[in-house]
Amino acid sequence: MSAVEAQEWRDFAVFLARASAAKICENISLRSGSHSGTVSEKDGNADLVTETDEQVEKFIRSSIQSKYPTHKFVGEESADEPGSVEANLTDDPTWVVDPIDGTMNFVHGYTGFAVSIAVLFRKRPLVGVVLDVDKGRLYTAIGGQGAWCNGVRLSVSRCDHIHHCLLATETTGRRDAASISEISQSLANLLTARVAGVRMSGSAALNVCHVAEGAADAYFEFGPHIWDIAAAEVILREAGGVSLDPVTMQPPNICSRRYLAAATEALARQIEPHIVKVTRLPTD
């Protein structure tokens, strides 16, 4: 794999993200403020899927298969049973796509939803493209070539103390008593530790991009899938940030559904003791 190939993949991912955003905006226009078409829950939890998610993923997948017939594909709306993604990953170029990350926001007409496209090479995220549909902010990165947003190079905040930290997280889509207790206790612990503030955007990909651009200082969540974070992981890394598994405090397995991103490792290690650890989630 050459640098020219990686740039070609990045450019095609940008084209797909922009074309997908146009389709999403067309759907928004057609629905005229009402909820978007057919909406259903995934696995009985609070994660939603719409006709638009499925249509956009189908467009992206068919476009990739036409241009790169030997490449692999992993998509949120077409993923198989838990554990199948990791089991089937190969060293081949693999496109990992979330057609709309932040579907709950999209359905309600609330800001904060994105198209997320990554290319893995040798099982590691190499190319990342995240397009904030509402704001038109295009985040891109290639491993070893820096991270950018609308032509401006990104850099993390360098925050290294929890008292100065603006922290992003999510409640997750799970509504069982144990999950509610875990996130509630983690937030109580962090607030008691005097974290400066907590925000929930509704999009894991955008949360990580916000850390990459210095708008937030850290983000943690138990539950994000590989398609939620693969693209943003490249962007974070190339902006100088760090990502860790909040249970092991080692580099994350992006299929593990455990993720901690921070501007600095010092900040990540101050946050970690206050997080209730969750290890029972099925992997991707």
Q: Which residues are catalytic?
A: 76, 98, 100-101, 103, 228
Residues 212/198, Cβ–Cβ less than 8 Å? no
Beta-carbon count within 10 A of 197 CB: 12
Q: Say if strands 197-199 and 166-168 run parallel, antiparallel, or are unpaired.
A: parallel
Q: Say if strands 137-142 and 147-149 run parallel, antiparallel, or are unpaired.
A: antiparallel
For residues 47 and 65, what is the distance between their CA atoms, to the nearest angstrom? 28
Q: Which residue in 153, 156, 147 sits closest to 215, CA to CA?
A: 156
CA 250-253-258 angle, 5° bins: 80
Helix axes 204-212, 226-238, angle to 10 degrees: 0
Q: Which residues of 7-40 are buried (b: 16+ CB within 10 A; e: fewer)?
A: eebbebbbebbeebbebbeebbeeeeeeebeebe
Q: Say if strands 147-149 and 72-75 run parallel, antiparallel, or are unpaired.
A: unpaired
What residues contact 179, with CB distance under 8 A and at least 6 apart? 172, 278
Q: Token pair for residue 257? A: 């559904």
Place of tokens 């990165």: 141
Residues 59/26, Cβ–Cβ less than 8 Å? no
